[in-house]
Amino acid sequence: MLSTRVIACLDVQNGRTVKGTNFINLRDAGDPVEQAKQYSTIGADEICFLDISATYEKRRAMFNVISKTAETCFVPLTVGGGVKDLNDFRDLLNSGADKVSINSSAVYNPKLIKQSSDKFGNQCVVLAIDAVENIKMPSGYEVTTHGGRKKTNIDSLKWAKQGVKNGAGEILLTSMNTDGTKKGYNLKLTKLISQNVSVPVIASGGAGSPKDMVDVVLKAGASAVLAASIFHYDIHTIYSVKKEMSENGIIVRDCEN
């Protein structure tokens, strides 16, 4: 059985790690290069680097920061933000990314999922879905883009299924309603997606404690858990998360105390 991954997320803006609530009220949380190095040393299974304003500001990702991060990171690195086409995809992989996360660009150009999967392999393609509650949608959740700023009138479950069919090898699922709240992941949303797709689902948005991470795996079927605030501000450690998971029968990789 595969181990459940614990992923540290670096939301980056202007070369600095930031964190807010529901993607707003952002505050500085440190240097991403140093943080990535530290997380990879103390047991993070992966690092997720998201340039959260690249798409909104209509610019490419910060390749220099990504390259420096990759040089100091000894675990797989997923990078997202500002990816518009195959050239951006290729440049991110050449900068040291192991996987590329696409969100807004995939919504407005669904062919990009298949093109990138065919070109680089589906193991490199992560479909990021920022979902917001909307009772008008069949699943109850609507896809948003541009860091949650724009609604799309696309049903989240339908989009997840379509993305996997087109070649996405993994789904990074963020509940916009719980992001940054530290009140726990959206179990209903995570379970809905994980039960209906054949690829791993990374739970994101709302982690406040190791117990939240246990719950989203055991109750909602997540294959990996992602968090930012609780790690950046030393509220909880990767070790404490893995310890709690292991004590609840979840297989995890070892890490340093």
pLDDT of 210 > 70? The answer is yes
- The answer to whether the Cα torsion of 250, 254, 255, 257 is positive or negative is positive
Q: Say if 20 falls within a structural domain.
A: yes
- Which of 6-20, 130-144, 240-254 comes out lowest in average pLDDT? 6-20
Q: Average the pLDDT over 31-58 and give the result.
A: 77
Q: Say if 253 falls within a structural domain.
A: no
| Terminal C-alpha separation, the chain | 24
C-alpha 77/C-alpha 46 separation (Å) is 6
pLDDT of 170 > 60? The answer is yes
Q: What pLDDT score was predicted for residue 241?
A: 95
pLDDT of 55 > 70? The answer is no
Does residue 213 or residue 253 have the better pLDDT?
Answer: 213
Percentage with pLDDT > 90 across the chain: 60
Q: Is residue 118 flagged as an active site residue?
A: no
Q: In the chain, how many domains are there? A: 1
Question: What is the tens place of the pLDDT at every residue in 96-138?
Answer: 999 999 998 999 999 999 999 999 999 999 999 999 999 999 9
Q: What pLDDT score was predicted for residue 106?
A: 94
| Boundaries of domain holding 112 | 5-247
pLDDT of 139 > 60? The answer is yes
Q: Say if 257 falls within a structural domain.
A: no
Q: Is residue 130 flagged as an active site residue?
A: yes
Confidence band of 159 (pLDDT split at 50, 70, 90): very high
Q: Find the CATH number of the domain harbouring 174.
A: 3.20.20.70
Q: What pLDDT score was predicted for residue 20?
A: 44
Which is nearest to 129 in space by CA: 78, 63, 90, 176?
Answer: 176
List the catalytic residue out of 31, 45, 98, 130. Answer: 130
Does residue 56 or residue 92 have the better pLDDT?
Answer: 92
Cα angle 62, 63, 65 (rounded to 5 degrees) comes to: 70
C-alpha 225/C-alpha 205 separation (Å) is 9
Q: Say if 256 falls within a structural domain.
A: no
Which is nearest to 23 in space by CA: 52, 60, 55?
Answer: 52
Q: Say if 183 falls within a structural domain.
A: yes
Q: Average the pLDDT over 180-208 and give the result.
A: 95
Helix, strand, coil in percent for the chain, rounding step 5: 35, 25, 40
Q: Say if 170 falls within a structural domain.
A: yes
Helix (H, G, I), strand (E, B) or coil at 166: helix
Q: What is the mean pLDDT of the chain?
A: 87
